[in-house]
Structure 1
Amino acid sequence: GGFSTVREIKKPVSGTLTVFLDSTPETGWICDYTTGVITFTTPPESGKGIYCTGEFDVPVRFDTDEMNISMMEGDFFNWTSIPLVELRGSGI
């Protein structure tokens, strides 16, 4: 089955976005890739659903000040996990 979610996107990846009006791909738009704001060259008709697919970056921080590593061989190391926390609502 399909999965969808609604969230504010502030860091879309350039070249990965597709904007749809209802289920039809739209070409008359530009995106500010630092804010995620999409501006239409001609406003969509009233009542049209605006949807977007694409990739986006997620600002995170490390969740710990220490990371346990294992020395493999030579100059190779292994981390079993790197805990990260998403910075939601941070304005980034």
Structure 2
Amino acid sequence: MIDSFDEVRLPARLAFGSTGGVERRTEVVQLASGYERRSTPWAFGRRRYLIGAGLRSLDDMATLTAFFEARQGRLRGFRFKDFADFKSGLPSQAVTAGDQEIGLGDGVRRRFQLRKAYGAAWREITKPVAETVRVAVNGVEVSGFEVDAATGQVLLAQAPAVGAVVTAGFQFDVPVRFDTDRLDVTLESFEAGRMAAVPLIEVR
């Protein structure tokens, strides 16, 4: 994981009006026959966002500038709440302990990585909101576990039996960094201004 990372979340009000989502990298080779060959060097998608374009309050701009300075521009990563994808289930549904399968018991293993399924693809969740995590073993919710909020690993007090299905539900943040070393602000009045969109990119 990232060495230069601050376990702090960008204030939610600074994310309102943000745009972004997941990107993939696909390499397409056009063959002489007219067919094409497609491949990807990425096992998982990467998230990108633009924030700040909707800010008009000079106070909010000052808050974003202070946050940017504290992260030293692109140097240090931080947490970002993607309001379109921040739960183990659908955004409109409450978190439940059975939302996502995170592993099978073998009678010895106690540590499991939080993850979320996107069809047949699995995304590791490394920045959960610790107090929202719920865990179940074979459909029975358990309370004996610890969560590492910096890695997304869950440590159960007891190893699940062989073949036992371990599931979890949670909210989570996306680990990101600023993808620029510059902020541009236009002063429109004594109390209002306009900020150019600030890019964020997911870090791994």
Q: TM-score, normalised by structure 2?
A: 0.36
Q: Distance in 1 between matches of 2:143 and 2:186?
A: 50
Q: Identity percentage over the alignment?
A: 33
Shift in CA distance, 53/73, structure 1 to aligned 2, threshold 3 Å: farther
Q: Which runs of 4+ in 1 moved over 6 A?
A: none
Q: Distance in 2 between matches of 1:52 and 1:70?
A: 45
Cα offset for 1:80?
A: 5.3
Q: Does 1:83 align with 2:199?
A: yes
Pick one of 10, 15, 32 that aligns with 2:131: 15
Tell me the SS of whatever aligns to 2:132: coil
Tell me the SS of whatever aligns to 2:141: strand
Shift in CA distance, 53/79, structure 1 to aligned 2, threshold 3 Å: farther
What one-letter code is carried by the residue in structure 1 that aligns with 2:198?
Answer: I
What count of residue pairs does the alignment treat as equivalent?
Answer: 87
Instruction: Summarize the alignment of residues 36-47 of structure 1 with structure 2, pairs less than 5 Å apart.
Output: 36-47=152-163
Tell me the SS of whatever aligns to 1:42: coil
In structure 2, the gaps of 5 or more residues are 1-88, 91-115
Q: Distance in 2 between matches of 1:34 and 1:50?
A: 20
Report if the CA contact (8 A) 2:130-2:148 is conserved.
no
Shift in CA distance, 48/72, structure 1 to aligned 2, threshold 3 Å: farther
Tell me the SS of whatever aligns to 2:131: coil
Deviations 1:28-78 (A, max 9, x none): 211222332211111112212222221223221122334444434324333
Instruction: Summarize the alignment of residues 54-73 of structure 1 with structure 2, pairs less than 5 Å apart.
Output: 54-73=170-189
Shift in CA distance, 38/69, structure 1 to aligned 2, threshold 3 Å: same
Q: Distance in 2 between matches of 1:34 and 1:40?
A: 17
Higher strand share: 2
Report if the CA contact (8 A) 2:132-2:171 is conserved.
yes
In structure 1, the gaps of 5 or more residues are none
Which residue is 2:142 aligned to?
26
Q: TM-score, normalised by structure 1?
A: 0.68
Q: Distance in 2 between matches of 1:49 and 1:70?
A: 55
